[in-house]
A and B are shown apart, each in its own frame.
Chain A
């Protein structure tokens, strides 16, 4: 049985570091976003 070459997983493999970096940066952004917006809204 022949499986065609799947391109998407290969792309994910190539850009693994980029994905991890994006995940880390968005986690930091989400956390600080919630905290700063909350602080701003509450104290205004």
Chain B
């Protein structure tokens, strides 16, 4: 049963998309990585044009990061001041990224650029993760306990305009988080990812934030970056397809919750090598698709406006007639879904605690 996406103009199987986004959600909940750099290539493999895959995945990331960030807000594990500094850099980076995206779109090379960016980023991350696991194998074999240096100083720590970040107990230059945000925003705008794979190591090793504040603050930054990316893609290219977004958001929110629960019960560090190999395989498939399979035309069924049902016609009309409000609506839609998911999770865990406490008391 295929569904026609009115904006992306392709037929997709909704069950396949729901399943894939749920699987990617489980992986991202389990390993604490954003699912963007896996889901966008999967959407491209399913026939969604890269420019549309990037924009819609950014909207999906917005919903999942709102959900995660609300949970961290409720637990008070968020450094707003540091987050806002990164967001300032992120906004500039996003604007630069959209400008670059427009340039490559105008010369007709955007699909190649997105594919190239993905294959190199996936290969680099996969290689780094595997090299780390090689080191761990050696250490385990030789029983080496590594002594880490307490303070490593890079050029970035010598920057001027220092300010206090009381929550993280840091005295840092404002330029450090701004430069990191700039890089994250630029990559997010071109590739449709949250950028957690850059942000999290940078927060731990460069900014030196306490580890308990890192996931919440990273998600907080991702909200703003993905809002800007979604909005700019929506008003510049009209590429947000709400039908696709609904499928992606539902699948990934359920998947992330399952992944986080799984992560609490099993030790996922041993599975990291498998995730790294998966990243490399996806990188190889993208490379093959870009370089060697150009002549094989993908069987993408294009539909006409006559095939559209009422809902699809409404989405298409809304997007074309009022792109500004359509962009705002898609952002609000993702935010509401994300907050709702976080509160549902909280009430379920409260209910379970209450129920289990009662049964334990009764058994005593």
Chain A residues within 8 Å of B, Cβ to Cβ: 17, 20-21, 24-25, 27-28, 30-32, 34-35, 37-39, 41-42
Query: Which of B122-130, B169-177, B259-267 contacts its partner?
Result: B122-130
Tell which of A21, A25, A30, A38 has the most Cβ of chain B within 10 Å. A38
Query: Which of B69-77, B85-93, B200-208, B285-293 contacts its partner?
Result: B285-293
- Selected contact of B127 from candidates A17, A28, A39, A42, CB within 8 Å: A28
Minimal beta-carbon separation of B238 from chain A (angstroms): 30
Contact B291 A32 (CB under 8 A): no
CB-CB < 8 A to B292: which residues of A? 38
Rounded to whole angstroms, the CA-CA distance of A17 and B127 in the bound complex is: 18
User: B residues 286-309 with Cβ under 8 Å of A?
Assistant: 287-288, 290-292
Contact B280 A38 (CB under 8 A): no
Contact B280 A28 (CB under 8 A): yes
Contact A35 B120 (CB under 8 A): yes
Minimal beta-carbon separation of B8 from chain A (angstroms): 26
Chain B residues within 8 Å of A, Cβ to Cβ: 116, 119-120, 123, 126-127, 130-131, 133-134, 137, 141, 273, 277, 280-281, 283-284, 287-288, 290-292
| Complex: chain A residue closest to B133, CB-CB | A24
Decide: A31 near B280, CB < 8 A? Known: A17-B141, A24-B134: yes
Contact B119 A35 (CB under 8 A): yes
Contact A31 B126 (CB under 8 A): yes
CB-CB < 8 A to A39: which residues of B? 116, 291
Rounded to whole angstroms, the CA-CA distance of A30 and B285 in the bound complex is: 11
Contact A34 B133 (CB under 8 A): no
Name 9 A/B residue pairs within 8 A (Cβ), A-sorted. A24-B133, A27-B280, A28-B127, A28-B280, A31-B126, A31-B280, A31-B284, A34-B291, A35-B283
Contact A41 B273 (CB under 8 A): no
Contact A34 B130 (CB under 8 A): no
Rounded to whole angstroms, the CA-CA distance of A5 and B281 in the bound complex is: 38
Decide: A31 near B283, CB < 8 A? Known: A38-B291, A38-B292: yes
Rounded to whole angstroms, the CA-CA distance of A34 and B284 in the bound complex is: 6
Minimal beta-carbon separation of B115 from chain A (angstroms): 10
Contact A27 B130 (CB under 8 A): yes
| Complex: chain B residue closest to A42, CB-CB | B291
Rounded to whole angstroms, the CA-CA distance of A42 and B277 in the bound complex is: 25
CB-CB < 8 A to B273: which residues of A? 24
Contact B287 A28 (CB under 8 A): no
| Complex: chain A residue closest to B137, CB-CB | A17
Minimal beta-carbon separation of A18 from chain B (angstroms): 10
Contact A20 B287 (CB under 8 A): no
CB-CB < 8 A to A37: which residues of B? 291
Contact A20 B137 (CB under 8 A): yes
Top 6 nearest A-B pairs by Cβ distance? Answer: A38-B291, A31-B280, A34-B287, A35-B287, A24-B130, A38-B287
Tell which of B137, B281, B284 has the most Cβ of chain A within 10 Å. B284
Minimal beta-carbon separation of A41 from chain B (angstroms): 7
Decide: A28 near B291, CB < 8 A? Known: A21-B134, A21-B137: no
Minimal beta-carbon separation of B37 from chain A (angstroms): 15
CB-CB < 8 A to A17: which residues of B? 137, 141
